[in-house]
Amino acid sequence: MLMKNILSQDSTSLSFEFFPPKTPHGWEKLFENIAELAPRKPSSVSVTYGAGGTTRTQTNELVLRIHRETGITVVPHQTCVGATTAEVQAILTEYQQAGIKNVLALRGDKPQNDANWHAPADGFEHAIDLVRFIRHKFPHMSIGVAGFPEGHPEMPNRLLEIEYLKQKVDAGADYIVTQLFFDNHDFYDFCQRCELAGIHVPIIAGVMPLRSRQGMARMAELAAGARFPAALLSQVYSAANEQEVERIGIDWATEQVCDLLANKVRGVHFYTLNSAAATNEIFARLGLDR
């Protein structure tokens, strides 16, 4: 089903994100977790693309396997850093022939330690170039793009950031999926600024339950960063062990989702880290079984 049609329905879209594992055991564990989450009847699941396209083959395999074996609507990530138009066209043609009708169009992370990096002559410089290409070559696909409630890491000018996002929507994007955030006020403010800029497509809120102090440190180091509210930090710093940190993370995310649903957001996207446990618990607490 097309994401733009899913998001036009009255009910809030609830979706999950997975990434390609690096080992055979990881693949086995991932599908065990997908099997656990499938009864939750998500509106869709997405599959990430490694930095610089490093997991291209694994992403394609995972997308096609989920599509074949579960029947759940799959939204593959498609980055354009380092990719040629021919490579992207070949991948999306394979998806289209398999019956996959959605894609999340992203620039992707530039190669590290290469300050002079430029896109290949037959490639894409920015995500908007990828959006235009997909809309032209695959006009029937539903296209999503990324949004950053806490600000894009490479764009300190917040006015230009929203203007560039509007340009992607005007180029053919049907909806926006946000990076993770821990303060819902950041998300609501982002939505209001989009509205003021003339962006009227559905915006899906990205939520990731905190699972450990180490995980918190990794989130802070990511290119997009993550802002941790003082109230959350206070609880994490006071936790006696990692099990308590995980409980705090699930509690916090549950409150976030409860508030988002009360405010009738168009969708909530769960960054699962390939584990069913936290997402399952949030669904159970909030009675989200469909």
Q: Which of the residues are catalytic?
A: 17
Nearest to 181 by CA among 149, 158, 151: 149
How far apart are alpha carbons 202 and 271 in whole angstroms?
18
Nearest to 75 by CA among 50, 49, 53, 52: 49
Rounded CA-CA distance 199/169 in Å is 7
d(CA 258, CA 3): 23
Residue 125: which residues within 8 A CB-CB, separation 6 or more? 118, 119
| DSSP H or E stretch at residue 148 | none
Tell me if 249 sits within 8 A of 219, measured CB to CB. Answer: no
Residue 115's CB is within 10 A of a number of other CB atoms, namely 7
Q: What angle do CA 76, 61, 140 make, to 5 degrees?
A: 35
- 66: Cβ–Cβ under 8 A, 6 or more apart, which residues? 18, 34, 45, 47, 72, 74
- Copy the structure tokens of residue 91: 């991948």
92: which 2 tokens? 């999306």
